[in-house]
Amino acid sequence: MRESMRQLIKNPIFKRKETFLALIIIALGTYLSLATTDFLTVANLLDVLVNYSFLGIMSAGMLIVLISGGIDISFTAIATVGQYAMALYIINYGGNLFLAFLIAGVIGVVLGCINGFLIDYLKVPAIIVTIATLNLHYGVLITITKGRWIYGFPEWFRNIPSLFGSGGSGSYALSLPVILLVAVYLFTAFFLNRTTLGRQIYAMGGNQEAAQRLGVNIRKLKIFVYGFMGLVSGIASVIQAQLVQTVAPNAIVGRELDVVAAVVLGGASLAGGTGTVVGTALGVSLIAMMGNGLTLLGISSYWHQVFLGAVIVISVGVTSYSRRRGTQVRRIQVDGE
Protein backbone atom coordinates (compact mmCIF):
# COMPACT_ATOMS: atom_id res chain seq x y z
CA MET A 1 0.00 0.00 0.00
CA ARG A 2 2.74 2.43 0.97
CA GLU A 3 4.73 1.54 -2.13
CA SER A 4 1.77 2.19 -4.40
CA MET A 5 1.19 5.56 -2.69
CA ARG A 6 4.85 6.50 -3.21
CA GLN A 7 4.65 5.59 -6.88
CA LEU A 8 1.46 7.63 -7.21
CA ILE A 9 3.08 10.66 -5.59
CA LYS A 10 6.11 10.30 -7.89
CA ASN A 11 3.82 10.52 -10.90
CA PRO A 12 4.73 13.67 -12.89
CA ILE A 13 1.15 14.89 -12.73
CA PHE A 14 1.48 15.40 -8.96
CA LYS A 15 4.48 17.67 -9.52
CA ARG A 16 2.38 20.16 -11.47
CA LYS A 17 0.97 23.21 -9.72
CA GLU A 18 -2.34 22.68 -11.50
CA THR A 19 -2.85 19.36 -9.72
CA PHE A 20 -2.38 20.81 -6.23
CA LEU A 21 -4.58 23.76 -7.15
CA ALA A 22 -7.33 21.42 -8.32
CA LEU A 23 -7.10 19.49 -5.04
CA ILE A 24 -7.40 22.74 -3.07
CA ILE A 25 -10.48 23.70 -5.12
CA ILE A 26 -12.07 20.31 -4.45
CA ALA A 27 -11.35 20.60 -0.73
CA LEU A 28 -12.71 24.16 -0.55
CA GLY A 29 -15.77 23.21 -2.59
CA THR A 30 -16.45 20.28 -0.28
CA TYR A 31 -16.19 22.47 2.81
CA LEU A 32 -18.47 25.17 1.39
CA SER A 33 -21.06 22.63 0.27
CA LEU A 34 -21.17 21.26 3.83
CA ALA A 35 -21.04 24.66 5.56
CA THR A 36 -23.74 26.31 3.44
CA THR A 37 -26.86 25.07 1.70
CA ASP A 38 -26.64 27.53 -1.21
CA PHE A 39 -23.12 26.94 -2.54
CA LEU A 40 -23.58 23.66 -4.39
CA THR A 41 -26.62 24.71 -6.41
CA VAL A 42 -26.81 25.23 -10.16
CA ALA A 43 -28.13 28.76 -9.75
CA ASN A 44 -25.29 29.82 -7.43
CA LEU A 45 -22.53 28.22 -9.51
CA LEU A 46 -23.83 29.83 -12.71
CA ASP A 47 -24.05 33.19 -10.96
CA VAL A 48 -20.44 32.85 -9.84
CA LEU A 49 -19.38 31.88 -13.36
CA VAL A 50 -21.13 34.88 -14.90
CA ASN A 51 -20.01 37.37 -12.25
CA TYR A 52 -16.36 36.32 -12.52
CA SER A 53 -16.31 36.06 -16.33
CA PHE A 54 -14.95 39.61 -16.40
CA LEU A 55 -12.02 38.58 -14.19
CA GLY A 56 -11.50 35.39 -16.20
CA ILE A 57 -11.30 37.14 -19.57
CA MET A 58 -8.85 39.71 -18.20
CA SER A 59 -6.74 36.87 -16.78
CA ALA A 60 -6.23 35.33 -20.22
CA GLY A 61 -4.52 38.52 -21.39
CA MET A 62 -2.49 38.84 -18.20
CA LEU A 63 -1.31 35.24 -18.63
CA ILE A 64 0.31 36.07 -21.96
CA VAL A 65 1.85 39.24 -20.54
CA LEU A 66 3.39 37.37 -17.58
CA ILE A 67 4.64 34.54 -19.80
CA SER A 68 6.41 37.14 -21.95
CA GLY A 69 8.30 38.35 -18.89
CA GLY A 70 6.33 41.58 -18.48
CA ILE A 71 3.47 42.86 -16.38
CA ASP A 72 0.61 45.26 -17.07
CA ILE A 73 -0.98 47.44 -14.42
CA SER A 74 -2.77 49.80 -16.82
CA PHE A 75 -5.27 47.35 -18.31
CA THR A 76 -8.08 48.43 -15.97
CA ALA A 77 -7.73 52.04 -17.11
CA ILE A 78 -7.60 50.88 -20.73
CA ALA A 79 -10.78 48.88 -20.18
CA THR A 80 -12.45 51.89 -18.58
CA VAL A 81 -11.57 54.20 -21.50
CA GLY A 82 -12.85 51.65 -24.02
CA GLN A 83 -16.00 51.03 -21.99
CA TYR A 84 -16.79 54.72 -21.63
CA ALA A 85 -16.30 55.42 -25.34
CA MET A 86 -18.41 52.39 -26.27
CA ALA A 87 -21.23 53.40 -23.94
CA LEU A 88 -21.34 57.00 -25.15
CA TYR A 89 -21.50 55.93 -28.78
CA ILE A 90 -24.20 53.27 -28.56
CA ILE A 91 -26.38 55.41 -26.28
CA ASN A 92 -26.15 58.51 -28.47
CA TYR A 93 -25.90 56.98 -31.94
CA GLY A 94 -27.19 53.41 -31.62
CA GLY A 95 -25.50 50.36 -33.05
CA ASN A 96 -25.29 46.67 -32.27
CA LEU A 97 -23.35 44.25 -30.11
CA PHE A 98 -20.60 43.77 -32.70
CA LEU A 99 -20.03 47.53 -32.87
CA ALA A 100 -19.88 47.73 -29.07
CA PHE A 101 -17.12 45.11 -28.93
CA LEU A 102 -15.38 46.69 -31.92
CA ILE A 103 -15.16 50.15 -30.32
CA ALA A 104 -13.91 48.90 -26.97
CA GLY A 105 -11.59 46.35 -28.59
CA VAL A 106 -9.95 48.78 -31.02
CA ILE A 107 -9.33 51.34 -28.26
CA GLY A 108 -7.89 48.57 -26.10
CA VAL A 109 -5.57 47.33 -28.84
CA VAL A 110 -4.29 50.84 -29.64
CA LEU A 111 -3.57 51.74 -26.01
CA GLY A 112 -2.07 48.32 -25.34
CA CYS A 113 0.25 48.57 -28.35
CA ILE A 114 1.41 51.97 -27.10
CA ASN A 115 2.36 50.27 -23.81
CA GLY A 116 4.35 47.62 -25.65
CA PHE A 117 6.18 50.18 -27.79
CA LEU A 118 7.07 52.39 -24.82
CA ILE A 119 8.33 49.44 -22.78
CA ASP A 120 10.66 48.32 -25.57
CA TYR A 121 11.69 51.77 -26.81
CA LEU A 122 12.40 53.33 -23.42
CA LYS A 123 13.99 50.14 -22.00
CA VAL A 124 12.13 50.83 -18.76
CA PRO A 125 10.61 48.07 -16.58
CA ALA A 126 7.06 47.27 -17.67
CA ILE A 127 5.60 47.96 -14.25
CA ILE A 128 6.90 51.56 -14.34
CA VAL A 129 5.51 52.25 -17.81
CA THR A 130 2.12 50.71 -17.11
CA ILE A 131 1.71 52.47 -13.77
CA ALA A 132 2.40 55.72 -15.64
CA THR A 133 -0.10 54.95 -18.39
CA LEU A 134 -2.66 53.79 -15.81
CA ASN A 135 -2.57 57.20 -14.18
CA LEU A 136 -2.43 58.98 -17.52
CA HIS A 137 -5.46 57.24 -19.04
CA TYR A 138 -7.49 57.35 -15.85
CA GLY A 139 -6.59 60.95 -15.09
CA VAL A 140 -7.51 62.17 -18.58
CA LEU A 141 -10.80 60.26 -18.49
CA ILE A 142 -11.78 61.65 -15.08
CA THR A 143 -10.82 65.17 -16.16
CA ILE A 144 -12.88 65.02 -19.36
CA THR A 145 -15.91 63.25 -17.92
CA LYS A 146 -15.72 64.81 -14.42
CA GLY A 147 -16.47 61.34 -13.04
CA ARG A 148 -19.97 61.24 -14.55
CA TRP A 149 -21.74 57.87 -14.56
CA ILE A 150 -23.53 56.66 -17.68
CA TYR A 151 -26.97 55.04 -17.66
CA GLY A 152 -29.70 54.35 -20.18
CA PHE A 153 -28.32 51.66 -22.46
CA PRO A 154 -30.43 50.65 -25.48
CA GLU A 155 -32.91 47.80 -25.14
CA TRP A 156 -30.82 45.44 -27.28
CA PHE A 157 -27.83 45.94 -24.94
CA ARG A 158 -29.88 45.41 -21.78
CA ASN A 159 -31.49 42.18 -22.95
CA ILE A 160 -28.93 40.16 -24.86
CA PRO A 161 -30.43 36.70 -25.58
CA SER A 162 -28.83 33.58 -24.12
CA LEU A 163 -28.38 30.12 -25.55
CA PHE A 164 -30.24 27.09 -24.19
CA GLY A 165 -32.57 29.18 -22.05
CA SER A 166 -34.06 32.60 -21.64
CA GLY A 167 -31.70 33.67 -18.87
CA GLY A 168 -34.59 34.70 -16.66
CA SER A 169 -35.43 33.61 -13.16
CA GLY A 170 -35.57 29.86 -12.81
CA SER A 171 -33.78 29.11 -16.10
CA TYR A 172 -30.19 28.08 -16.56
CA ALA A 173 -29.00 29.75 -19.74
CA LEU A 174 -25.64 29.78 -21.45
CA SER A 175 -25.17 33.55 -21.40
CA LEU A 176 -22.85 35.76 -23.44
CA PRO A 177 -20.23 36.26 -20.66
CA VAL A 178 -19.82 32.48 -20.29
CA ILE A 179 -19.59 31.93 -24.05
CA LEU A 180 -16.94 34.63 -24.44
CA LEU A 181 -14.98 33.37 -21.43
CA VAL A 182 -14.77 29.87 -22.90
CA ALA A 183 -13.96 31.23 -26.37
CA VAL A 184 -11.14 33.46 -25.07
CA TYR A 185 -9.62 30.58 -23.07
CA LEU A 186 -9.78 28.17 -26.01
CA PHE A 187 -8.18 30.71 -28.33
CA THR A 188 -5.45 31.58 -25.81
CA ALA A 189 -4.63 27.89 -25.25
CA PHE A 190 -4.46 27.23 -29.00
CA PHE A 191 -2.35 30.33 -29.57
CA LEU A 192 0.20 29.57 -26.84
CA ASN A 193 0.56 25.85 -27.56
CA ARG A 194 0.00 25.52 -31.30
CA THR A 195 1.49 28.60 -32.94
CA THR A 196 5.03 29.79 -33.56
CA LEU A 197 4.23 33.18 -32.07
CA GLY A 198 3.06 31.52 -28.86
CA ARG A 199 6.30 29.56 -28.54
CA GLN A 200 8.26 32.75 -29.17
CA ILE A 201 6.46 34.43 -26.27
CA TYR A 202 7.49 31.59 -23.97
CA ALA A 203 11.08 31.88 -25.27
CA MET A 204 11.16 35.65 -24.75
CA GLY A 205 9.89 35.27 -21.20
CA GLY A 206 12.41 32.56 -20.41
CA ASN A 207 15.43 34.41 -21.78
CA GLN A 208 14.96 37.54 -23.85
CA GLU A 209 18.57 37.78 -24.99
CA ALA A 210 18.63 34.17 -26.17
CA ALA A 211 15.32 34.65 -27.98
CA GLN A 212 16.69 37.72 -29.72
CA ARG A 213 19.78 35.82 -30.86
CA LEU A 214 17.47 33.20 -32.36
CA GLY A 215 15.91 35.89 -34.53
CA VAL A 216 12.82 36.82 -32.50
CA ASN A 217 11.71 40.40 -33.10
CA ILE A 218 11.38 41.50 -29.49
CA ARG A 219 9.77 44.87 -30.20
CA LYS A 220 7.02 43.45 -32.40
CA LEU A 221 6.41 40.65 -29.93
CA LYS A 222 6.05 43.04 -26.99
CA ILE A 223 3.69 45.27 -28.98
CA PHE A 224 1.61 42.20 -29.82
CA VAL A 225 1.53 40.95 -26.22
CA TYR A 226 0.35 44.24 -24.76
CA GLY A 227 -2.00 44.78 -27.70
CA PHE A 228 -3.62 41.43 -26.91
CA MET A 229 -3.94 42.48 -23.28
CA GLY A 230 -5.68 45.63 -24.48
CA LEU A 231 -8.00 43.61 -26.72
CA VAL A 232 -9.23 41.30 -23.95
CA SER A 233 -9.55 44.33 -21.66
CA GLY A 234 -11.89 45.89 -24.20
CA ILE A 235 -13.91 42.67 -24.52
CA ALA A 236 -14.16 42.31 -20.74
CA SER A 237 -15.22 45.94 -20.35
CA VAL A 238 -18.27 45.40 -22.57
CA ILE A 239 -19.19 42.30 -20.56
CA GLN A 240 -18.89 44.23 -17.31
CA ALA A 241 -21.04 47.07 -18.62
CA GLN A 242 -23.70 44.63 -19.82
CA LEU A 243 -23.80 42.91 -16.43
CA VAL A 244 -24.17 46.04 -14.29
CA GLN A 245 -25.92 48.25 -16.90
CA THR A 246 -23.91 51.31 -15.84
CA VAL A 247 -20.52 52.74 -16.63
CA ALA A 248 -18.53 54.45 -13.89
CA PRO A 249 -14.97 55.72 -14.38
CA ASN A 250 -13.87 54.13 -11.10
CA ALA A 251 -15.72 50.80 -11.39
CA ILE A 252 -12.91 48.74 -12.95
CA VAL A 253 -9.77 50.56 -11.83
CA GLY A 254 -8.51 48.86 -8.68
CA ARG A 255 -9.14 45.28 -9.86
CA GLU A 256 -5.54 44.79 -11.01
CA LEU A 257 -4.55 42.70 -8.00
CA ASP A 258 -7.43 40.27 -8.53
CA VAL A 259 -6.32 39.50 -12.07
CA VAL A 260 -2.60 39.23 -11.29
CA ALA A 261 -3.30 37.02 -8.26
CA ALA A 262 -5.52 34.67 -10.30
CA VAL A 263 -2.85 34.15 -12.96
CA VAL A 264 0.00 33.82 -10.47
CA LEU A 265 -2.06 31.44 -8.36
CA GLY A 266 -2.51 29.33 -11.49
CA GLY A 267 1.22 28.79 -11.82
CA ALA A 268 2.42 31.69 -13.98
CA SER A 269 5.72 33.14 -12.86
CA LEU A 270 6.22 36.87 -12.34
CA ALA A 271 9.70 36.29 -13.75
CA GLY A 272 8.26 35.08 -17.06
CA GLY A 273 8.51 31.96 -19.19
CA THR A 274 5.90 29.79 -17.46
CA GLY A 275 2.13 29.59 -17.24
CA THR A 276 -0.83 27.69 -18.68
CA VAL A 277 -4.44 28.43 -19.53
CA VAL A 278 -5.58 25.49 -17.39
CA GLY A 279 -3.71 26.87 -14.39
CA THR A 280 -5.16 30.33 -14.97
CA ALA A 281 -8.70 28.91 -15.17
CA LEU A 282 -8.11 27.09 -11.89
CA GLY A 283 -6.70 30.24 -10.29
CA VAL A 284 -9.76 32.23 -11.33
CA SER A 285 -12.00 29.42 -10.05
CA LEU A 286 -10.34 29.40 -6.64
CA ILE A 287 -10.62 33.17 -6.25
CA ALA A 288 -14.26 33.07 -7.38
CA MET A 289 -15.08 30.26 -4.95
CA MET A 290 -13.36 32.08 -2.12
CA GLY A 291 -15.22 35.33 -2.81
CA ASN A 292 -18.55 33.54 -3.09
CA GLY A 293 -17.82 31.44 -0.01
CA LEU A 294 -17.00 34.49 2.13
CA THR A 295 -20.31 36.04 1.10
CA LEU A 296 -22.32 32.90 1.89
CA LEU A 297 -20.56 32.47 5.23
CA GLY A 298 -21.09 36.11 6.17
CA ILE A 299 -17.36 36.81 6.53
CA SER A 300 -15.94 40.29 5.83
CA SER A 301 -14.80 40.82 2.25
CA TYR A 302 -11.59 42.38 3.60
CA TRP A 303 -10.26 38.85 4.03
CA HIS A 304 -10.47 38.51 0.26
CA GLN A 305 -7.83 41.23 -0.12
CA VAL A 306 -5.68 39.57 2.54
CA PHE A 307 -5.75 36.34 0.56
CA LEU A 308 -4.85 38.06 -2.72
CA GLY A 309 -1.90 39.85 -1.16
CA ALA A 310 -0.66 36.61 0.41
CA VAL A 311 -0.86 34.84 -2.95
CA ILE A 312 1.42 37.42 -4.58
CA VAL A 313 3.96 37.35 -1.73
CA ILE A 314 4.08 33.54 -1.56
CA SER A 315 4.36 33.22 -5.33
CA VAL A 316 7.26 35.67 -5.54
CA GLY A 317 9.01 33.82 -2.71
CA VAL A 318 8.52 30.39 -4.30
CA THR A 319 9.69 31.63 -7.70
CA SER A 320 12.79 33.24 -6.22
CA TYR A 321 13.61 30.11 -4.20
CA SER A 322 13.12 27.82 -7.21
CA ARG A 323 15.41 29.93 -9.39
CA ARG A 324 18.14 30.04 -6.75
CA ARG A 325 17.88 26.31 -6.21
CA GLY A 326 18.02 25.67 -9.96
CA THR A 327 21.12 27.84 -10.24
CA GLN A 328 22.81 25.97 -7.38
CA VAL A 329 22.01 22.59 -8.95
CA ARG A 330 23.51 23.68 -12.29
CA ARG A 331 26.65 24.92 -10.55
CA ILE A 332 27.04 21.60 -8.72
CA GLN A 333 26.63 19.72 -11.99
CA VAL A 334 29.23 21.90 -13.73
CA ASP A 335 31.69 21.55 -10.84
CA GLY A 336 31.13 17.79 -10.82
CA GLU A 337 32.05 17.54 -14.46
Q: How far is CA 146 from the centre of its chain?
A: 29
pLDDT digits over 194-207, tens only? 999 999 999 999 99
In this predicted structure, what is the pLDDT of residue 224? 97
Between CA 275 and CA 68 the distance in angstroms is 10
Reported as a single tens digit per residue, the pLDDT across 8-43 is 445 555 557 788 888 888 998 999 999 998 898 888
CATH number of 39-301: 1.10.3470
pLDDT of 281-334, one tens digit each?
Answer: 999 998 999 889 888 888 887 787 787 777 777 766 766 666 666 555 445 454
Q: What is the pLDDT of residue 168?
A: 44
Domain ranges in the chain are: 39-301
Reply yes or no on whether the pLDDT at 239 is more than 70. Answer: yes
**Residue 174 pLDDT:** 66
pTM: 0.87
Closest to 228 (Cα-Cα) out of 125, 67, 110: 110
Give the pLDDT confidence of 159-196 residue by residue, as tens digits. 877 655 544 434 445 688 999 999 999 999 999 999 99
Closest CA to 264 of 205, 327, 313: 313
